[in-house]
Structure 1
Amino acid sequence: MTDQAGPSALPALAAGCAQPPTRRYDVALLDLDGVVYVGPDAVPGVPAALAGARAEGMRLGFVTNNAARTPEQVAAHLTELQVPAGPGDVITSSQAAATVVAELLGAGARVLPVGGPGVAAALEAAGLTVVVRAEDGPEAVVQGYGREVGWTQLAEAVVAVRNGARHVATNTDATIPSPRGPLPGNGAMVAVVRQVTGQEPLVTGKPDPAMHAECVRRTGAEHPLVVGDRLDTDIEGARRAGAASLLVFSGVTDPATLVAAGPDHRPDLLAADASGILHPHPAVTVDGPTWRCGGWTVRQAEGGDALELRGPDSHPAGTASSGSDDLDGLRALCVAHWAAHPGEGAPVRVLAHGAAATASAQAWGLPSGGAR
C-alpha cells in the first residue's frame, strides 16, 4: 500500500503533491469526527469537496474510532449531510474489536459490551454472545464510546475484568471534537476501568492497521490516502498501514502540536480541512541553510536553537505561491524542524520576521521570540 512521497532523506511532507490528491490517490480513507463532521454538523465545505472528489473518480471509505453507532447509523448520518454512503462504506472500531475478540475466544463467546449500541451490534454480528452483567460470566469486556456511559456500566466492566474477563478497548482517544470544544472520549472512560482493575486493555482501533487494511480490502485501493485530524490514531495508523496521509486542522490537532510531533506522527500532506484533497500541495525546497515554500522561508537562527520565519511580505512582490492556502509557512517550519530532529519529537521556538510571519506564528500557537 505504500505510496509515500519525497526523498527518504527528507520528511515526506517536503515533497508535497504537485497535482490534486484526487488524481494521485484512488481512494480516500476518511476519519469522521473532526474531518467530515463535528458533532451533528458537517465541517463547512466538506460535503461539496467530497462530491467533487467522487466526480473526479476518487472512491471514499469511512474509518472511525467512534464505536457508539452502527455502520447503518453512520451511513444514514453521512447521507443526511449530503455525503451519500452505505453501511459497507463504513468501518467502525466496534467491528474491529468484535473481529479480534471472535478470533481470540471463538464464536459464541460471552462478551459484556460497554458503550453505545454500535458495540453490542458489532459483537452480535461477529457471532458472539452479548451479556449485560458481570455475573453472566463474560470472557471479555469490549469498551467503546457511548454518550450514555456512566457509573453503572463502568462498574459492571470493573467487576467483570476483576473476575478474569479480558478488557478490550475499541480505542483510547482521550477526547472527541465537538462544537463546544474537545470533550471526554473513550480513552477517558477506559482509564477508569484500567485504574480500578490495574489491567491494561487490548486496544483494537486506530492506530492498529487492521481498520485501514479492511477498508482497503473493501474498496480495492491501490494508492490510498488516509485523511484524519489526529496524529496518534489517523496519522500513525496510516504510517503503520503503509499508506500516505493528509492531516486536517478541522478537528483536534493544532499546528503547534504538529510541529513538535515525533516521526510516527508526521503526515505527508497538510490542509485546513478535507477539501485539501482537491488542490495541489506545494513542495518545500532546501537552499543551503534555507527552507522555502511559496513565499515563505525558514532558517536556523544564529547562535540559538530557534527557527527564523519570514513571510511573503519579506520578499519581492509576486514570490508567493499561487493558490496558497495560508499553510506554506507551516509546511516550511515542519520540514525544517523535522529535518533537524529526524528521530524524535521536539518543541520549537520561532523568531518571526515581518507582519505575515508574526500573525501566522500567533495564529498557529507557536512559541515565538517576538517579531524582528
Structure 2
Amino acid sequence: MNSTLLGSDTPLAEKYDLALVDLDGVAYRGHEPIEGAAPGIAGARACGMRMVFVTNNASREPESVAAQLTGLAIPTEASEVMTAAQAAAALLTRRLSPGQKVLVVGGAGLVTAVRAAGFEIVTSADDGPDAVVQGFAPELGWANLAEAAYAVERGAWFVASNLDLSLPTARGFAPGNGALVGAVQAATGVVPDSAGKPSPTMYRLAIERAGARSPLVVGDRLDTDLAGARAGDLPGLHVLTGVSRARDDILAVPSERPHYIGADLTSLLVPHEAPMPAGDGWWRCGDAAARVVNGALELDPGSSSDVEARVDLVRAACGAAWAAVDAGETLDPGTVPEIVVHNA
C-alpha cells in the first residue's frame, strides 16, 4: 500500500465498513473519557460503520472492557472487543495441542483466553509448562516474573501478548507489558514471540470475526497501531489523542506512517484532504503548506488556527517531509517543531 497520506472525498465512516479501534489513548485515557470519542463512535455507527475495539491490553475480560466503554457513553458488546489475550491464545494454538500446559503470567483476561483455547493452566515452572504466555496486569510482581524466567530457561516457548513499553493512564505513562517482558528477556536471553500489535494478528482475527470487506485501523501509536496496519496492508488513521504526536507523524519511518491523520475520533465523520505538491517544493493541504529546503522543514500555517487547520498543517508537513526523505534527502529533526493540535 502507498506510503503517503491518502485522501477521501467522503467521510471515513462511509468509505470503510469496519473500524478497528484501539482503546488506551483513543477511546479513553485510563478511566477518563477522551473528547470526541463518544460522538465520533456514535456518528460512525450511524453511518453504518461497525466497530471492533482492538487492544494490546491482555489483563481484562472483553466483558469488562465493554462495560467500561458503555459507562463512557460508548455502548459496546463484549463481542465487539478483541484483546491481545485472545490473540495470544490463538498464537499458542499454532504450536501447541489442546491439553498442553501453559504458565500464564498476567491477568484474568489472559487466563480466560488461554483456558478457552483448551490448554491446561499451571502456576509454577516446576509444573513443566510447554509455554509461558505473559501479558500485562498491574498486580504482577517479581515472583511472577521469576517463575516465567525459570520456565523459559528450561525450554518453555515464550509468548508475549504485546511488547508495548508504556501504558497511558490518567496520571501519565506507566510501564507497559513490554517493559515487564523485558525483565524476563534480560534474565533468560530469550526473545518472545508476540501476538499483539504491531503484529497484524489481532486485526486479521477481528476482520475475520466481523466479515468485513473494507476495514480501517484507528490508533494513537505509530509503533504499534499504525505499524500493525502497515504490516497487515491495511489503511490506518492516526488520532492525535494519545502517545504519538504530530511531530512523530512528520518524522515517521515508512513502516509506521499513517494513511490518514485526525484530531480525534470525530475525524471518522469528515472527508480527508490529502496533501499535494504545489510547486517550488511546497506541499499544500487546505490553507496550510510545508516544504523541505536544504534539509530544513519550513511551515506556512495559513490564515486559520482552528483544530482542522492545524491538522491540515500536519498533513502538509508529512507530505513534504516524506517526499523529501523518500527521495533520499536528509531531514534535520531539529527543524521539525511540535504542532499542537489540541488546546488542552
User: Which TM-score applies when normalising by structure 1?
Assistant: 0.86
Aligned-partner Cα distance in 1 for 2:128–2:188: 17
**DSSP-derived class of the 1:327 partner:** helix
1:77-107 Cα distance to aligned partner (Å, 9 max, x none) = 2222222222221111111111111221110
Aligned-partner Cα distance in 2 for 1:105–1:205: 18
Return structure 1 stretches of 4+ with deviation > 4 angstroms: 320-323, 343-347, 362-365
Change (3 A) 1:128 1:226: same
Who is 2:333 aligned against? Answer: 348
Aligned-partner Cα distance in 2 for 1:309–1:131: 57
68, 89, 96: which one aligns with 1:105 = 96
1:259·1:347 contact (CA, 8 Å) conserved in 2? no
- 2:117 corresponds to 1:122: no
- 2:226 corresponds to 1:242: no
**DSSP-derived class of the 1:105 partner:** coil
113, 116, 135: which one aligns with 1:144 = 135
Who is 1:224 aligned against? Answer: 215
User: Percentage identity across aligned positions?
Assistant: 44
Who is 1:368 aligned against? Answer: none
Q: How does 1:225-304 map to 2 (within 5 A)?
A: 225-288=216-279, 289-301=281-293, 304=294
Change (3 A) 1:347 1:191: farther
1:102·1:109 contact (CA, 8 Å) conserved in 2? no
55, 61, 81: which one aligns with 1:64 = 55
Change (3 A) 1:243 1:321: farther
CA shift for structure 1 position 268: 0.8
Aligned-partner Cα distance in 2 for 1:64–1:117: 15
Who is 2:319 aligned against? Answer: 335
**Structure 2 alignment gaps of length 5 or more:** none
Who is 2:22 aligned against? Answer: 31
Aligned-partner Cα distance in 2 for 1:256–1:183: 22
Aligned-partner Cα distance in 2 for 1:363–1:22: 26
Aligned-partner Cα distance in 1 for 2:96–2:332: 44
Report the residue type matching 1:148 in the other structure: E
Give the number of equivalent residue pairs: 339
**DSSP-derived class of the 1:341 partner:** helix
**DSSP-derived class of the 2:148 partner:** helix
Change (3 A) 1:219 1:362: closer
Aligned-partner Cα distance in 2 for 1:51–1:86: 14
**DSSP-derived class of the 1:161 partner:** helix
Change (3 A) 1:33 1:321: closer
- 2:306 corresponds to 1:311: no
Report the residue type matching 1:292 in the other structure: R
2:241·2:263 contact (CA, 8 Å) conserved in 1? yes
Aligned-partner Cα distance in 1 for 2:306–2:37: 22
- 2:154 corresponds to 1:169: no
Report the residue type matching 2:322 in the other structure: W
Aligned-partner Cα distance in 2 for 1:101–1:347: 44
- 2:194 corresponds to 1:203: yes
**Structure 1 alignment gaps of length 5 or more:** 314-319, 352-360, 366-372
1:167·1:201 contact (CA, 8 Å) conserved in 2? yes
CA shift for structure 1 position 342: 2.1
CA shift for structure 1 position 346: 5.7
1:164-192 Cα distance to aligned partner (Å, 9 max, x none) = 11111010000011121111000000000
1:268-298 Cα distance to aligned partner (Å, 9 max, x none) = 1111211110112222111222111111121
1:143-175 Cα distance to aligned partner (Å, 9 max, x none) = 001011111101111111111111110100000
Who is 2:64 aligned against? Answer: 73
**DSSP-derived class of the 2:272 partner:** coil
Report the residue type matching 1:309 in the other structure: L
**DSSP-derived class of the 2:217 partner:** strand
Who is 2:308 aligned against? Answer: 324
Aligned-partner Cα distance in 1 for 2:130–2:271: 50
Change (3 A) 1:343 1:104: farther
User: Which TM-score applies when normalising by structure 2?
Assistant: 0.93
Aligned-partner Cα distance in 2 for 1:120–1:296: 50
1:291-313 Cα distance to aligned partner (Å, 9 max, x none) = 11111121233xx2102111214
Aligned-partner Cα distance in 1 for 2:327–2:93: 37
Superposed CA RMSD: 2.1
Aligned-partner Cα distance in 1 for 2:73–2:306: 30
Aligned-partner Cα distance in 2 for 1:207–1:47: 26
**DSSP-derived class of the 1:91 partner:** strand
Report the residue type matching 2:139 in the other structure: E
Report the residue type matching 1:268 in the other structure: H
**DSSP-derived class of the 1:49 partner:** helix
2:290·2:320 contact (CA, 8 Å) conserved in 1? yes
